[in-house]
Amino acid sequence: MNDLHTELKLSIIEQLNLEEFSVEDIDNNDPLFGDGLGLDSIDALELIVLLEKDYGIKLTDPDQGKEIFSSINQMASFIEAHRTK
Amino acid sequence: MSRESVYITDFVSLKNNQIKHQQKLLYKADSFLELKSFLKESYKVIGLNYPKFHKMDDLCKLGLLASEVILKEKELKTDTAIVLSNASSSLQTDYKHQNSLQQHVSPAVFVYTLPNIILGEISIKYSLKSENVFFIEETFNAKLLNDYAQVLLQSGKASSVVCGWINLINDEYDVFLCLISRKGEIPLSVENLEQLYLFENE
């Protein structure tokens, strides 16, 4: 697991107030929504803000989020390819 | 039409880092404990198991904690109404949102910039599909709560009512919540509501 994966997990736990989760509880391939972390639509908006704030990525198409936020691995790949900071 | 008797079935208060259930001390935290820590510790003490709690703003957390104390293990009908009030609306979260406007706005903060969100959170937690209302009053208004609860119960709109005062501003909080129903020993009246609220605030 590289630093970006850990960094993302820590950010998600902190930003989304997932008090009952630790980094070790989140597998890189776990679905973030639905049965995985149980995130909801407001959390999805928070993740969009997180991408812009921490990595300078502005999502123009909300539908992109479904794929990008499907797992930590998907998020990390997208960030590595598109980050501006 | 004769009025059926209704009672203050249960009541709880949260203030000054203390939780009192029916005037008995349920939890007392150190007086220097900050609100966030008090809420987290209270969550554990009360035995609330509800991960969504951690995502709520502090006003909703206070409401959920108080509700859990008086509603836990009770067989509630889905028509249980909610009548809440306070003086400071959702100002604490409103300020937090306002302060973030120059940077990155948090959707999770924004959704709590209305006091009546707490009605929805309590309804979701206890599966209530009922009448609900949130009043902004300068001070605790026992007559308003009594009259509104009486109408809901006497008209058959609700089988029980959760009502009270949940105020929060600058991390200072004052919570007094009652369950009103046809069971109990303390008759619902303006005087009894006032006395219980004042006692809890002594």
Q: State the complex-level ipTM.
A: 0.78
Instruction: State the CATH number of the domain containing residue A61.
Output: 1.10.1200.10
Return left, alpha or beta for A3; rule: phi > 0 is left, psi -120 to 50 is alpha, else beta: alpha
**B-chain residues near A20 (CB < 8 A):** 51, 54
| pLDDT tens sequence across A69-81 | 999 999 999 999 9
Domain assignment of residue B99, yes or no: yes
First-to-last alpha carbon distance for chain B, in angstroms, is: 39
Q: What is the pLDDT of residue B26?
A: 96
Per-residue pLDDT of chain B (202 residues; tens, 9 = 90+): 457 799 999 999 999 999 999 999 999 999 889 999 999 999 999 999 898 899 999 999 999 999 999 999 899 999 999 999 999 999 999 999 999 898 888 999 999 999 999 999 999 999 999 999 999 999 999 999 999 999 999 999 999 999 999 999 999 999 999 999 999 999 999 999 999 999 877 6
Cβ of residue B36 closer than 8 Å to a chain A Cβ: no
Domain assignment of residue B1, yes or no: no
Residue A7 structure tokens = 């960094």
Domain assignment of residue B84, yes or no: yes
What residue type is A35 in one-letter code? Answer: D
Domain assignment of residue B60, yes or no: yes
| pLDDT tens sequence across B157-166 | 999 999 999 9
Q: What is the pLDDT of residue A1?
A: 53
Domain assignment of residue B169, yes or no: yes
**In this complex, which of A16, A19, A52 lies closest to B104 when CB atoms are compared?**
A52
DSSP count for chain B of H helices, then E strands: 7, 8
Rounded-to-integer distance, Cα B105 and Cα A2, Å = 29
Contact B106 A18 (CB under 8 A): no
Bridging pattern class, strands B172-181 and B186-187: unpaired
Domain assignment of residue B142, yes or no: yes
Domains held by chain B: number: 1
Residue B23 burial (C-beta neighbours within 10 Å; 0-12, 13-18, 19+): exposed
Q: Which residues pair with B132 in a beta bridge?
A: B82
User: Taking 80 as the threshold, does the pLDDT of residue A35 lie above it?
Assistant: no
Mean pLDDT of A46-64: 89
Instruction: State the CATH number of the domain containing residue B113.
Output: 3.40.47.10
Bridging pattern class, strands B24-28 and B161-169: unpaired
Give the closest-approach CA distance of A74 to chain B in angstroms.
23
| pLDDT tens sequence across B125-145 | 999 999 999 999 999 999 999
Domains held by chain A: number: 1
Give the closest-approach CA distance of B54 to chain A in angstroms.
6
Q: What is the pLDDT of residue B16?
A: 94
Residue B32 burial (C-beta neighbours within 10 Å; 0-12, 13-18, 19+): exposed
Contact A16 B107 (CB under 8 A): no
- Nearest residue of chain B to residue A53 (CA atoms): B104
Domain assignment of residue B122, yes or no: yes
Domain assignment of residue B47, yes or no: yes
Count of CB contacts below 8 A, A vs B?
29
| Structural domain range at position A57 | 3-82
| Structural domain range at position B31 | 7-200
Q: Which of A15, A41, A46 to mutate to test the interface with B (most CBs of B within 10 A)?
A: A46
Cβ of residue B156 closer than 8 Å to a chain A Cβ: no
